[in-house]
C-alpha cells in the first residue's frame, strides 16, 4: 500500500474542507460519522484495586461519561481488567472500557481480549530507546518492519474480539525514529500516526481511532488539522479523539482544554473528547458536556458578540479592562481591539467560551488587544485575570508561572492535585517559568513538554526533581522536594 509522504507546511492551517469520519463501534457504542461527540475519562485509582476502580467508574458513569480508560501498566493489571469488568456486569453497568498501554505489548494483547478498545502509544511501541539515535534509510525501514511485526499479534487478537484500537500519539513521546526524521513537531506526530495506520491497513484492520495530543494548545490544534488534511489527501476518514495533555487544574486547566478541544470541534473535527484535569476525573465531565453543547454540533450556540474596534471607540469605564496582547506595545487610539461581549453568560461558562471564541477570531484576524465584556456577574478584575490566562494559554503573553500537570492515573504515586496546588501556591508568580508536576517517572519526564523544572512522583510519597531533562534529586520526601524546588528557582 502506498501513501504520499507527509509534506504539509508548518504554519497552522485553518480547515476549509469538511471532514466526516467513518463509523466504528466501541463495544455497542457507535462512534464517529453523525453520532454525538462521545465523552471519555480515565480512572486514577490503582488498577489492581478493583473495588476503588469500580466505584470510580460508577461515579463517572453517573456524571455522564460514555467510555472509561484504565491504565494497564503490566500483565497483572491487564488481567485484572476482567475482574473490573465482571464487577461492573454484576452491577448491570455496561460501559465500554479502554485499556491504556505503555511499553508492554503483552499487556495490550491480554487487555484486547477483555475490553472494547486498547490505546497504544506508537512512541513506545517501537522497541528503540536510544536518545539521539542516527538512522540510515535502511535502518529506519528495518525498525519500521520490526514495529509492524510487534504489532501483528495485537491486531490479530483485536480482530478476533472486535476490539478497537486508538493510536495515541503524544507530542513529547514520539519514537526515536520519528524524532530523527521529523523532530518533535506536529509533522512528526502525523507521520507517526500514518506509519501505524499503514501497518494496520496492511493487516486489514480498520477499527481505528486517532489522537494527537500535546500540552501546548497550538501544537495540539495544528497536529489535528494536519492529520485531517493528510487523511483527506489519502482518502481516509478515521475518527479523532481530542485532548490537551497535562492541562493542569482549576481555571488554567479548563482554559487550555477548552481552547484546544473547542477550536477543533468548531472546525468539525473530533468524535470523542477527554478533558484532562488534575482533579477528580468526575469533574472533567461537566466541562466536556459544555464544550460539546457549545461547539460539538453543526450549529454553534451563539452567545458572543465579536467585533474589532479601535481603542478610542470603547467607553472610558471599560478601557482599564482591556489587555494588550503584546505587552511591549503601547496603547494608542489606533490600536485594533478585539471585543468579545457576553451579556448574559454565567462566569463558569465564560471560562470555556472565551478561550475558544478568542482563538477562532484571532486566527482569522490579529488584534493588538483583547477586551472581554460580561454582564454584571463578573467584575473588571476577574475579567482582566481571565484575559491574561487566555493569552498565556495561546502562548501570546506570559504573566505568571506556566504549569503543566498530568491528570494522574493508576501509576500515580502521590496526591498530585494537592501537590500541584502547593507548588502553585509557593511558585505561581514567576513570569516566564514553566514547571511540570507529573504523576509517574515512567511517562512523566518524557511528557514534561519543555518545562524548566519537573516535580515527578517516583515512589509512594517520593519525588524526583528535574531541571529540564536532567534529574537533580531522586526520591526526596514531598515536603523536602518542594523546599528544594523553591530554593533552586529562587537562586
Number of residues that bind ligand SF4 (CB under 6 A): 13
Q: How far is the CB of 407 from ligand SF4 (least distance, A)?
A: 6
3-state secondary structure of 260: helix
The end-to-end CA distance of the chain, in Å, is 56
Nearer to ligand SF4, 85 or 274 (CB): 274
Q: Which stretch binds ligand SF4 (CB under 6 A): 251-259, 317-325, 434-442, 476-484?
A: 434-442
Is 454 a residue that touches ligand SF4 (CB under 6 A)?
A: no
Is 440 a residue that touches ligand SF4 (CB under 6 A)?
A: yes
Q: Which stretch binds ligand SF4 (CB under 6 A): 132-140, 284-292, 340-348, 435-443?
A: 435-443
Instruction: List the strands of the sheet with 305-310, edge to edge.
Output: 305-310, 336-342, 369-374, 323-324
Q: How far is the CB of 439 from ligand SF4 (least distance, A)?
A: 3
Strand 402-405 vs strand 369-374: parallel, antiparallel, or unpaired?
unpaired
Q: What is the DSSP letter of 247?
A: B
Rounded Cα gap, residues 150 and 152, in angstroms: 6
Sign of CA dihedral 390, 212, 433, 331: negative
- Helix ranges (H only) for 35-165 are 50-63, 75-90, 105-112, 137-161
- Long-range contacts of 423-429, Cβ-Cβ distance < 8 Å, separation of 24 or more: 423/455, 423/482, 423/485, 426/482, 426/486, 427/401, 427/485, 427/486, 427/489, 428/400, 428/401, 428/403, 429/400, 429/401
Q: What is the DSSP letter of 148?
A: H
Per-residue binding string, ligand SF4, 400-419, x by CB under 6 A, is: ------xxxx-xx-------
Q: What is the DSSP letter of 90?
A: H
Nearer to ligand SF4, 361 or 437 (CB): 437
Per-residue binding string, ligand SF4, 199-238, x by CB under 6 A, is: ----------------------------------------
Query: Contacting ligand SF4 (CB under 6 A), which of 438, 451, 476, 482?
Result: 438
Nearer to ligand SF4, 168 or 439 (CB): 439
Q: How far is the CB of 251 from ligand SF4 (least distance, A)?
A: 21
Q: How far is the CB of 122 from ligand SF4 (least distance, A)?
A: 16
Nearer to ligand SF4, 355 or 457 (CB): 457
Distances (CA, A) of 478 to 424, 427, 472: 14, 15, 15
Residue 25: phi and psi, rounded to 5, are -115, 135
Of residues 126-185, those binding ligand SF4 (CB under 6 A): none
Is 443 a residue that touches ligand SF4 (CB under 6 A)?
A: yes
Q: How far is the CB of 140 from ligand SF4 (least distance, A)?
A: 28
Q: How far is the CB of 41 from ligand SF4 (least distance, A)?
A: 12
Q: How far is the CB of 170 from ligand SF4 (least distance, A)?
A: 9
Q: How far is the CB of 257 from ligand SF4 (least distance, A)?
A: 15
Non-local CB neighbours of 305 within 8 Å, separated by 6+ positions: 339, 340, 341, 342, 343
All three cell numbers of 376: 454584571
Q: Which stretch binds ligand SF4 (CB under 6 A): 122-130, 137-145, 186-194, 442-450?
A: 442-450
Per-residue binding string, ligand SF4, 42-71, x by CB under 6 A, is: ------------------------------
Q: How far is the CB of 217 from ligand SF4 (least distance, A)?
A: 18
Residue nearest to ligand SF4 (CB): 439
Nearer to ligand SF4, 168 or 270 (CB): 168
Q: What is the DSSP letter of 32?
A: E
Cβ atoms of 127 and 150 within 8 Å: the answer is: yes
Q: Which stretch binds ligand SF4 (CB under 6 A): 76-84, 215-223, 296-304, 432-440?
A: 432-440
Nearer to ligand SF4, 175 or 369 (CB): 175
Nearer to ligand SF4, 23 or 415 (CB): 415
Query: Contacting ligand SF4 (CB under 6 A), which of 122, 296, 355, 444?
Result: 444
From the number of C-beta atoms within 10 Å of its C-beta (0-12, 13-18, 19+), residue 88 rates as: buried
Cβ atoms of 358 and 340 within 8 Å: the answer is: yes
Nearer to ligand SF4, 121 or 289 (CB): 121
From the number of C-beta atoms within 10 Å of its C-beta (0-12, 13-18, 19+), residue 4 rates as: exposed
Binding site for ligand SF4 (CB under 6 A): 406-409, 411-412, 438-440, 442-444, 447
Amino acid at each position: 500500500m502506498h501513501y504520499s509522504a507527509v509534506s504539509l507546511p508548518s504554519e497552522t492551517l485553518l480547515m476549509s474542507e469538511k471532514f466526516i469520519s467513518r463509523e466504528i463501534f466501541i463495544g455497542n457504542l457507535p462512534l464517529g460519522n453523525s453520532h454525538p461527540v462521545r465523552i471519555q475519562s480515565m480512572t486514577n485509582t490503582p488498577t489492581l484495586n478493583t473495588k476503588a476502580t469500580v466505584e470510580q467508574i460508577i461515579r463517572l458513569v453517573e456524571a455522564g461519561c460514555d467510555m472509561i480508560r484504565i491504565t494497564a501498566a503490566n500483565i497483572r493489571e491487564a488481567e485484572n481488567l476482567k475482574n473490573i469488568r465482571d464487577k461492573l456486569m454484576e452491577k448491570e453497568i455496561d460501559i465500554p472500557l479502554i485499556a491504556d498501554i505503555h511499553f508492554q505489548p503483552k499487556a495490550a494483547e491480554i487487555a484486547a481480549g477483555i475490553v472494547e478498545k486498547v490505546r497504544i502509544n506508537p512512541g513506545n511501541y517501537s522497541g528503540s530507546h536510544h536518545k539521539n539515535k542516527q538512522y540510515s534509510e535502511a535502518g529506519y525501514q528495518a525498525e519500521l518492519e520490526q514495529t509492524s511485526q510487534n504489532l501483528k499479534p495485537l491486531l490479530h487478537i483485536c480482530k478476533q474480539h472486535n476490539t478497537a484500537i486508538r493510536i495515541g500519539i503524544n507530542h513529547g513521546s514520539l519514537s526515536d525514529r520519528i524524532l530523527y526524521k521529523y523532530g518533535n513537531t506536529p509533522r512528526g506526530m502525523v507521520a507517526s500516526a500514518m506509519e501505524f495506520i499503514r501497518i494496520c491497513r496492511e493487516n486489514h484492520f480498520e477499527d481505528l481511532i486517532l489522537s494527537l495530543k500535546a500540552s501546548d494548545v497550538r501544537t495540539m490544534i495544528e497536529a489535528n488539522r494536519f492529520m485531517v488534511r493528510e487523511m483527506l489527501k489519502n482518502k481516509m476518514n478515521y475518527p479523532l479523539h481530542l485532548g490537551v495533555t497535562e492541562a493542569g487544574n482549576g481555571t488554567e486547566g479548563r482554559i487550555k482544554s477548552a481552547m484546544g478541544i473547542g477550536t477543533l470541534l468548531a472546525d468539525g473535527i473530533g468524535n470523542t473528547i477527554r478533558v484532562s484535569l488534575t482533579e477528580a476525573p468526575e469533574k472533567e465531565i461537566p466541562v466536556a458536556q459544555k464544550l460539546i453543547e457549545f461547539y460539538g454540533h453543526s450549529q454553534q450556540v451563539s452567545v458572543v458578540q465579536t467585533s474589532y474596534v479601535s481603542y478610542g471607540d470603547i467607553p472610558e469605564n471599560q478601557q482599564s479592562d482591556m489587555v494588550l496582547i503584546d505587552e511591549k506595545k503601547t496603547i494608542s487610539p489606533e490600536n485594533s481591539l478585539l471585543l468579545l461581549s457576553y451579556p448574559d453568560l454565567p462566569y463558569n461558562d465564560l471560562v470555556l467560551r472565551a478561550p475558544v471564541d478568542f482563538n477562532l477570531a484571532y486566527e482569522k484576524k490579529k488584534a493588538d488587544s483583547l477586551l472581554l465584556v460580561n454582564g454584571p456577574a463578573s467584575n473588571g478584575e476577574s475579567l482582566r485575570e481571565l484575559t491574561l490566562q487566555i493569552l498565556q494559554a495561546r502562548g501570546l503573553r506570559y504573566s505568571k508561572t506556566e504549569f503543566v500537570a498530568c491528570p494522574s492515573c493508576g501509576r500515580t504515586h502521590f496526591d498530585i492535585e494537592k501537590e500541584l496546588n502547593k507548588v502553585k501556591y509557593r511558585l505561581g508568580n514567576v513570569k516566564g517559568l514553566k514547571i511540570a508536576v507529573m504523576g509517574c517517572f515512567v511517562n512523566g519526564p518524557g511528557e514534561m513538554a519543555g518545562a524548566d523544572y519537573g516535580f515527578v512522583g517516583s515512589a509512594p510519597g517520593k519525588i524526583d526533581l528535574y531541571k529540564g531533562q536532567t534529574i537533580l534529586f531522586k526520591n526526596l520526601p514531598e515536603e523536602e522536594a518542594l523546599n528544594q524546588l523553591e530554593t533552586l528557582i529562587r537562586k
